[in-house]
Amino acid sequence: MKNLSVFILLLLFYLFLNFILNNFVQTDTKIIDFLAKDYPSSVVQNYMESQKKWWWVSYAVTPLLIGIKVLLVAFCLNFVKIMDLENAAKIKFSDILFVVLIAEFVFVIAGLYKFINFYFIDTDYTLEDLQTYYPISLINLREYISTEKWLAYPLQLVNLFELFYWAVLVWGIKELFDNKISYKRSLGYVAATYGVGLLFWTGVVCFLILNAQY
């Protein structure tokens, strides 16, 4: 019940973020300006009409996407029980799931940061800027690092909010172990579980992008 309550709260925040981004940042004008450069007006009009018809899809799939992400991270972290059988004997999967749900609120803050940036600060933006931007990450310095498309996702991952996410996970794992392990050891557990899973997922995404290019 505790996990369900936190998940519902998290979901409400994400749905709110989707709403304000779709209605106040990713506006119809920005979409039309972006598409008009490469497509005739008839194609753009058809696309906008389909967007209006299927506007609810992004909201409907949000619970599924968030749920899958949280479960996958919790699944990876669950391997800490194998790595430390003595201290982790009493840790349940639901306990780990709760830590992951709490950590996920870090990305809600990242979404709010993105909204504030484009709505109040960097108001002269294009849809491409909006799609490639991630708060306080190396992707924002991409033109100085590399313009290779396959590097976009790894550069997005190197950001301050991902660091905060790791910090919450490390703190949560230490708490689940009743503070019987150090922060350094907890960091090692997170790196060996979630970190390896994230590295694998990043490799898959980069591989798919590379294959789509050729």
d(CA 172, CA 10): 17
Q: Cα–Cα distance between 172 and 105 in angstroms, integer?
A: 14
Per-residue model confidence as pLDDT tens digits over 35-80: 888 888 888 899 899 988 998 999 999 999 999 999 999 999 999 9
Q: Which long-range contacts (CB under 8 A, 24 or more apart) does 190-196 make?
A: 190/77, 190/166, 192/79, 192/83, 193/76, 193/77, 193/78, 193/79, 193/80, 193/83, 194/73, 194/76, 194/77, 194/166, 194/169, 196/76
b/e map 33-48, b = 16+ CB within 10 Å? ebbeeeeeeeebeeee
**46: domain range?**
2-213
pLDDT, tens digit, 9 for 90 and up, residues 155-169: 999 999 999 999 999
Paired with 159 in beta bridges are: 137
Q: How confident is the model at residue 212 (pLDDT cuts 50, 70, 90)?
A: confident
- How many folded domains does the chain comprise? 1
Q: Which residue has the higher pLDDT, 141 or 120?
A: 120
- Give the per-residue pLDDT at 214: 59
**Whole-structure pTM value:** 0.93
User: Which pLDDT value is given to residue 213?
Assistant: 65
Q: What is the pLDDT of residues 71-130, one digit of tens each?
A: 999 999 999 999 987 888 789 999 999 999 999 999 999 999 999 999 999 999 988 889
Q: How confident is the model at residue 142 (pLDDT cuts 50, 70, 90)?
A: confident
